[in-house]
Structure 1
Amino acid sequence: MTTLNVFDQNAPANPRVVTEDAGKIANLLAEHGVRFEQWTTRDLPADASAEEILGAYADEIRALKDECGFQAADVISLNPDNPQKEVLRRKFLDEHVHSEDEVRFFVRGQGLFYLHFGDQVYAVLCQKDDLISVPDGTRHWFDMGPEPEFTCIRLFTNPEGWVADFTGEDIASRLPRYERLAGAAG
């Protein structure tokens, strides 16, 4: 189930807010300009190709492109047997910003977005059916866990794709990781 934990960055041991209510999650995130929606996923084979996934969601992708000016869409998929899983996890675990919105629609599996607003960190465990759009300039990081298992559609205004500017802050190392938060949700 999708969950939201809100932490005080100066006392990160225990969250201030914990909820599984999708409407409440959407409202709390909207206060910071974050778009959160739940869409209905399509029945696709587990081994569906990127082209099949993009084709199955072509109408939704087109609508988001028209609404938000996105130029490109792709699919990222990771499984526990990926030999690069540790390298990829570390790549996204440090706080960073982008010069464009970061949009992910979870077709399969789950991942944990951390959004840093002032002295608060919102940890959103996104799962299948969740769409999240993190506004450009928002400090954040992503934890896929030690055994990643997810497929996401990503949308970009920059045709080059994912480009991050790392903040150099160590805040990501001070908050509970995927193993604790996803374990508590499951």
Structure 2
Amino acid sequence: MLRAWYMDQEPGEPRAPHRQRPDRPVSPERLRRLGVTHRRLDADNYETDPCLKEIRRAENYTWMDIVTIHKDKLPNYEEKIKAFYEEHLHLDDEIRYILEGSGYFDVRDQDDKWIRIFMEKGDMITLPAGIYHRFTPDENNYVKAMRLFVGEPVWTAYNRPADDFPARKQYLKFLAEGTKEQSA
């Protein structure tokens, strides 16, 4: 089951849960209104999983690789973790499928508040192009994840502020249209 919550504003270790007191959970429906989608898959059988195969076909995810985020597997681990945690956006959707371990994706809501999404083995998330976000492993410091792309991979992250990019403007338009539908 997907778990997400509004983050506290306390400084400190990014890999800690950072839950507010009292806790303010965020529903999967709330995340969908932000354009964030989530699926649960069989990570033990990802190489032969027909659900993953169908998702890749239907969404045209033609490129895939696997990255292991751990101090013994990722060169310059601490520097990379700091870079992943810088608030940024991409011009394309970001698709990640957790095969082992756990971590957090943080996304900004329409009021610019941080929502923390706990990701663990079997979770697949899609973050829409133009959404401000960041990533960190949790306190276990280990994540093995599949990265999926439509076409060739695009690794460029644009740190905030990046509001002039068409992808950001399109995302803000998506949020505004969703707000209109909710108030109608």
What TM-score comes out, normalization by structure 2 length? 0.70
Q: CA deviation at 1:145?
A: 4.7
Matched, 1:95 2:95: no
Between the aligned partners of 1:101 and 1:64, the Cα distance in structure 2 is 14
Between the aligned partners of 1:152 and 1:166, the Cα distance in structure 2 is 22
Cα distance change on mapping 1:98 and 1:158 into 2, 3 Å: farther
Q: Could you list the runs of 5+ residues in structure 2 that have no partner in the other structure?
A: 11-18, 163-184
RMSD over equivalenced CA pairs, Å: 2.6
Identify the match of residue 142 of structure 1 among 135, 145, 152: 135
Between the aligned partners of 1:35 and 1:140, the Cα distance in structure 2 is 14
Cα distance change on mapping 1:146 and 1:4 into 2, 3 Å: closer
Matched, 1:3 2:3: yes
Kept after mapping to 1: 8 A contact 2:41/2:52 = no
Cα distance change on mapping 1:27 and 1:127 into 2, 3 Å: same
- Counterpart of 1:109 in 2: which secondary structure? strand
What TM-score comes out, normalization by structure 1 length? 0.69
Q: CA deviation at 1:158?
A: 4.5
Worse-matched range after superposition: 59-68 or 33-42: 59-68
Cα distance change on mapping 1:108 and 1:25 into 2, 3 Å: farther
Count of residue pairs brought into register by the alignment: 151
* Partner of residue 107, structure 1: 99
Matched, 1:30 2:27: no
Q: CA deviation at 1:56?
A: 3.4
Q: CA deviation at 1:60?
A: 3.7
The runs of at least 4 aligned residues of structure 1 exceeding 6 Å deviation read none
- Counterpart of 2:44 in 1: which secondary structure? coil
* Partner of residue 147, structure 2: 154
Matched, 1:132 2:136: no
Q: CA deviation at 1:168?
A: 4.5
Q: CA deviation at 1:18?
A: 4.0
- Counterpart of 2:129 in 1: which secondary structure? coil
Q: Which amino acid aligns with 1:135?
A: P
- Counterpart of 1:42 in 2: which secondary structure? helix
Q: Deviations over 1:95-154 (max 9, x none)?
A: 111111111111100111010123221101101111111011110011125762111111
* Partner of residue 179, structure 1: none
Kept after mapping to 2: 8 A contact 1:114/1:140 = yes
Kept after mapping to 1: 8 A contact 2:92/2:129 = yes
Between the aligned partners of 2:39 and 2:97, the Cα distance in structure 1 is 9
Q: Which amino acid aligns with 1:142?
A: F
